[in-house]
Amino acid sequence: MQVNETLVRNVVQEVLKRLGGDGAAVAGPPKAQGRFGLFTCPDEAVAAARDAFEQLSRRTLEDRRRIIGHVRRICLDQAVELGTMELEETKIGRLDHKIEKLQTVALGIPGVEYLRSEVFSGDHGLAVIEHAPFGVIGAITPVTHSLPTAACNAINMIASGNTVVFNPHPSGKRVAAEGIRRFNEAITRDLGLDNLMTIVVEPTLQTADRIFKHRDVSLLLVTGGAGVARAAMQQAKRAIVAGPGNPPVVVDETADLDRAARSIIRGGAYDNNLLCIGEKQVFVVREVFDAMLAAMERAGAVRLGAREVEALTKAAITSVGEGEHKHDVPHRDFLGKDPAVLARGIGKTIPQGVEMLFGETDDSNPFVPVEQMMPFLPFVRCRDVDEAIEKARLSEHGFRHTAVIHSTNVNNMTKMGKILDTTLFIKNGPSIAGLGSGGEGYGSFSIAGPTGEGITTPLTFTRERRCSMIDNLRILGK
C-alpha cells in the first residue's frame, strides 16, 4: 500500500499539538510562511531564515530597498507605541529616548545605498571586488536597546542580502518579537517574503548556544556585555563582537566648559546612560576642576556632596562572584533608572526634569571602573592632562570602545587619541555625536570593538568575491 507521507505527518502533528507537544520537532519544520518570524525552536527559526535567504537571493536590490523601507517606516510611524512597549518591558531608560532611538534607526542606519564594489583596471583587464552575503546570521541583542538593535542589525544585514535569526535578551524579548512580527507582516504583504528576520520568542542561553553552533548559521553578531562577548569568541565560526565599554571623558584647561557640560549631560544622560558609548566617568585637570563643576550645575545637573556620593555608591554598586571572580556591578534597582530614583535612594529630592547627578570622587570609587549605566557621573580631579589621560586609559579597561575629550589643544587631543586607541574618539561634543547624532557619519547600535569591524554597516556582513576579466574590457588607451 502506498503511504501518503504528508497525510501521516499532518496527523502526527495534529495529535502532538493536541497533547501539547511540538509536532514540528518530530515531523520536520512546519510550513514557515505566515509565522512572521516568530519561533520557539531555534532550529526552526534557522530553517525558516535559511529558506528566506534562498528566496531573497533571487530578488533584486530594489526589492531589498523596499524590504528595508518597511522596517524604517514601522520604526518611524510606530516609534511612540513600540518605544513605550520597550520601556514597559525592560523598565530601564527614558521614554523620550526609547522613541528617539527607533526614529534614529529609521533615519540614520545605512542600507542598500551603502553597498559598493571596488575595481582594479590595468594592462591585464579588470578585476571587480564585490561584496556578497554570508547567508543566515545569528544575532544576540542586549536589553539596553532591544528592538532598536534588532531593527538596526536587520537593516544592515538584509541590505547586503543576508537573513538573520535573533536570540534577544530575555528581559526585552517581547518588544523585539513584536517588532520582528510587524516587519515581517508588512514585508510579506508587499513582497510575499516571510522570515527574513526570525526570532526565538523564549530565548535562553541554550537557544543562543544552539544558534551559535548551528551549521546553517554562517556568521555571528553579538551585542552585549563581557559574558556573551567571551562566549561568542570561543565559537568555531566567525563572530563579530560588539562588546562592553566604559567611556571616559577628559576635560583640559583649554576646554569650553559650558559646552563640555552640555555635551556630557546630553551623552551621559541619554536613555539614563544605557548607551555603551555614553559618558561614564570624567577626569578634569585641577586648574579648571571647580569651574567645570559649576558649569555642570549651570547646565542643569545636580551636584551631590561627599556624603551623598558615599551613600549612593553603597546603594547603587554591588558585587557579584566569588574569590578571584568577585567584582563590582551596578545594582539592578538603579541601573538605567531616572535621576530622581537615584536621588530618592539616598533620601534626596531633586527638581523635576533634572537629567544628571554628579559629584567629586577619587579614581578608586567604584563608579569610575564600573560600567554603571546610570545617570550619575563621578568627576575626578587630576594634576594635569597627562594624569587625566592616564586615569582615563585605566578606567577604560582596554575595551578600546569609546573615549571623549573636551579641549582646544590639538596636541592633547592627539595624545589621548593615540593612548586610548578606541573605536570611537569624540572631541568637543556628546558621545552620541560620534554615531552621527549631531556629528558626521552614520549610526549603528552594534559597535564591534574586540573583533575590529568598528561601527557596523551593510558591508560588515559581507564576503569579498573577485570577478576577473583577463586582457579585456579595460577601455582606456593602450
- Sites of contact with ligand NAD (CB under 6 A): 140-144, 168-170, 205, 208, 223-225, 227-228, 231, 242-245, 276, 371, 445-447
Cell numbers found for residue 418: 593615540
* Closer to ligand NAD by Cβ: residue 141 or 460: 141
Q: Which residue has the cell 520568542?
A: 201
Q: How many CB atoms lie within 10 A of CB 260?
A: 28
Q: Which residue is nearest to ligand NAD (CB)?
A: 224
Nearest-approach distance from CB 208 to ligand NAD, in angstroms: 4
* Closer to ligand NAD by Cβ: residue 446 or 462: 446
Chain centroid, CA 37 distance in Å: 21
- Residue 375 gets which letter from DSSP? S
Nearest-approach distance from CB 171 to ligand NAD, in angstroms: 8
Nearest-approach distance from CB 45 to ligand NAD, in angstroms: 15
Q: Cα–Cα distance between 444 and 467 in angstroms, integer? A: 30
In three-state secondary structure terms, 284 is strand
Cβ–Cβ under 8 Å, residues 431 and 275: yes
* Closer to ligand NAD by Cβ: residue 231 or 265: 231
Cα four-point dihedral sign 281, 284, 289, 295? negative
Query: CA Rg, the chain, in Å?
Result: 25
Nearest-approach distance from CB 141 to ligand NAD, in angstroms: 6
Q: Which residue blocks in 421-478 are alpha helix, DSSP H?
A: none
* Closer to ligand NAD by Cβ: residue 257 or 317: 317
Nearest-approach distance from CB 278 to ligand NAD, in angstroms: 9
What amino acid is encoded at 476 in this protein?
L
Cβ–Cβ under 8 Å, residues 138 and 476: no
CA atoms within 13 A on the CB side of 356: 31
Cβ–Cβ under 8 Å, residues 40 and 22: yes
Nearest-approach distance from CB 101 to ligand NAD, in angstroms: 11
* Closer to ligand NAD by Cβ: residue 225 or 345: 225
Q: Element (H or E) spanning 425, and its range? A: strand 424-427
Q: Cα–Cα distance between 278 and 268 in angstroms, integer? A: 5
Cell numbers found for residue 270: 541619554
Nearest-approach distance from CB 303 to ligand NAD, in angstroms: 26
Nearest-approach distance from CB 394 to ligand NAD, in angstroms: 18
Nearest-approach distance from CB 55 to ligand NAD, in angstroms: 27
* Closer to ligand NAD by Cβ: residue 264 or 277: 277
* Closer to ligand NAD by Cβ: residue 133 or 244: 244
Environment class of residue 195 by beta-carbon count within 10 Å: exposed (0-12), middle (13-18) or buried (19+)? Answer: buried
Beta strand pairing status for 447-448 and 454-455? antiparallel
* Closer to ligand NAD by Cβ: residue 97 or 381: 97
* Closer to ligand NAD by Cβ: residue 30 or 247: 247
